[in-house]
Amino acid sequence: MPELPEVETIVRDLAPHLVGRRIVETRVLGRLSAANCLEPSVGAQICSVRRYGKYILIECDAGVLTVHLGMTGKLLWQGATSPYTRIAFQLDEGRLIYDDARQFGRVRWSSGQPAELERLGPDPLAIAPEEFIALVQGRRGQIKPLLLNQRVLRGLGNIYADEALFRARIHPRARCISAARARRLHQAIVAVLEQAIAHRGSSISDYVDAEGRQGAFQHLHQVYGKQGRPCPACGAGIRRIEIAQRGAYYCPRCQRR
DNA sequence: ACTAATGTTGTAGG
DNA sequence: GCCTACAACATTAG
């Protein structure tokens, strides 16, 4: 569910509440899948809250809680429990609720930096244009699956990949794109992510921030979920095709192969 | 009943 | 190693 802008919004909301707090109790409601591990996080004091790609790192004196929200995960500050509440973290002041209907999300405690993060590519908001061009030109595959591959670039998901490709006027199946187009794509990615963060992310079905509020960027989507609607740039009908087992939305006139 | 949904991972084949 | 396809995970909404 949450991509880079949604995770960034949650992290910014959460940090001032969590930093300095101590975890007093972790209560698991129902069954948590074996991929989750909380012990021994009780007693740890939170030092910082950071985003790493789509991951949320709650760094403590004794280790780090690594959270990935999957498709429907939520972290709610002072939240009420729901039928999908999986974990309630009681802190010395306040409480953090982890909700996840589909349970694709993961919460894991580790004593050091979790190894899974080392395999991720650079952050799209931190990478230099020349580096991005080299990254894209070093690959042979279709551009959209490339953008979704977290080992290539960490943080883009289905919404922002489509929105960035539209803004850069690149077909989602394009391969071996020129340096000029790669540069334009990099600019489009940065622009769309920054704009989405400014609007507190996109609420399509499940996403809410740490206070339970919806984002507003869904109102500014140009192509994502808009099949059959006119392209805001040229009026042609937006198409939906399937690429790498995911829906891909694009304008057939603005984004030529 | 069927399909699609903001995601990742493992397996298999070319 | 890279690329593609598919299944799996679990649940809801149209």
pLDDT digits (tens, 9 = 90+) for A158-198: 999 999 999 999 999 999 999 999 999 999 999 999 999 99
Per-residue tokens: A67: 């959270």
Answer yes or no: A167 catalytic.
no
A139 CA vs B13 C1’ separation (Å): 20
Q: State mean pLDDT over A9-26.
A: 97
CB proximity A150–strand C (7 Å threshold): no
CB proximity A140–strand C (7 Å threshold): yes
Q: Output the pLDDT for position A113.
A: 87
Nucleotide nearest to A146 (CA to C1'): C3
pTM over 0.95: yes
Q: Output the pLDDT for position A1.
A: 66
Answer yes or no: A246 catalytic.
yes
CB proximity A145–strand C (7 Å threshold): yes
Which residue has the closest alpha carbon to B9 C1'?
A: A104
Answer yes or no: A3 catalytic.
yes
* Annotated catalytic residue, options A2, A5, A124, A145: A2
Q: Output the pLDDT for position A32.
A: 77
Which positions on chain C have an atom < 7 Å from some protein CB?
2-7, 9-13
Residue A131 dihedral angles phi and psi, to the nearest 5°: -65, -40
Which residue has the closest alpha carbon to C4 C1'?
A: A244
Average pLDDT, chain A: 96
* Per-residue pLDDT tens over the stretch A122-157: 999 999 999 999 999 999 999 999 999 999 999 999
Residue A30 pLDDT grade (very low, low, confident, very high; cuts 50, 70, 90): confident
Answer yes or no: A2 catalytic.
yes
Residues of chain A with pLDDT > 90, as a percent, come to: 92
